[in-house]
Chains A and B, each alone.
Chain A
């Protein structure tokens, strides 16, 4: 595995090289890279953990969240990204608004990458602890050192190829696990009856773990503690659109496609395997909790008295796979932790060095100076990730923590993008103070509410008064995102109305919808048009929602 990465690295000299010459990669490769940039170990561990904690409702992340958002990116957002010269979110914000908006976004983005890499680090350390029997502290140190070496050896230069490779490794490494687990419990009907025990034990209707919509009429009827409105608006709208539209680790993959049409088709092609992913990542979690409830003691109990859902996948691996295939599964996991961490730390490094340090702190230094700063930033990033990894130990489901971070960063940012792209009147001041308001709104909401059964602190409620208690961490995240989005949207709108425009129509060409030439698909046969693909994807995900209603 490492050997292949090494061999590839020699062939592809740098990522820039890749972007310049590589704008011809086939759409299916761009599509797979698009989802594997997102299908890290975080997703595998986090979605399985959520499958165990919240049941099949976790599939809303896919069939309500990702699908419409990916279609939206492909149809409406790609033309701006592919057409403008922007290579990152901060860069787009600078072109569309001004330097200070870019700076603010760079700071929140830097914080997000640290948490993201810290969560991967926590998961890797937990895995090392479980498999090799090391202590957690020792495992953290080892993971930090490995990532440091990996980055300094230039491990990310062949990112896109590695990602496609990892995609297949994860799919082919986990499929036998799911098949064996399903066979063991007696298929879907066997699983449903086991999950009924889980649900009844937790005081819900028997079907609460195996129906995605049926119990969404009230937050008290389902394990996630959400009702349909909060879920559709918080997850489906604010969080998912925020993530897929503004996360450039993902969007960049589509920009490597050969033409505008191919770039627009990339997220749509990616949506097809993405739609089936719940089978691979959520199902093992549901199997694990089913076995936990009926055969006893499958998942270790954490300090909070709850099962540690994060260990669903590692425990399943150890339970079902014999030596041989077990190696394949573990390799798949570790490889993706490693690249997840390295990718985030590298992103932190470049945002800090170019978008913050070079622009705001010390402009006009030599390249060597910035290179040294970059190295220092990498080391700092890894140390900060260690802290984030320790804060992740407080969460029994890493997806809860990850979505919390997203609700702070992507939630408000999506409002800024929406207004910036579709309303040319949006001003730089409006965007900056709007984004600030959105982030502060998120902090206030998070500081004044608490998930049930938690103590004030890292899980919220640290501002003294707890005004509302949510039934679950995830419910708190969804509402945080929705509040943050609304705060940013309203503030940006109002401030833009009262401030003067600083950019002329000419400067905004290609950055704002009404000033960008329309995409014409008329000369393509109807079945090749992105719109056709989009409609088909939405129809199938609607169907999946009905099947698992």
Chain B
């Protein structure tokens, strides 16, 4: 268990444990300052983001939509958290020189070639399906996988098992060797 690898990365055990500490502090801080215990999550922000974009073209449609009304289209704590993830990753990667512009992931390139269009189409479709599922399940690997598990929620154990179980099968089909 190396704390500092040669590429500037930290041990995943250490970085993960620190996320655990961050989650505890955040649950405490949101309770004290915002009056409501709030746990780490990410996928609801995509609903709000979609609502904000859709509002530009069809505001009355967003207004009338039951789901947008339920999840409240606004820039809230979690929305800023998600923007913060972007900023934090940028700061971490640009200070240890691991920032790299990459148009096609190397593993994808090995299997499907260097076409950006192919990667874009697959990633987009994967994204549509993944988010549809995450909204149905009411959470993603952050909301269920981290926050739900920390609270010992039954739904989190079941959701995480489904995420990984189906992920393993589909990954084997998509990236596994053909024939």
Q: Do A and B make up one complex?
A: no
Which A residues form the contact surface with B (CB < 8 A)?
none
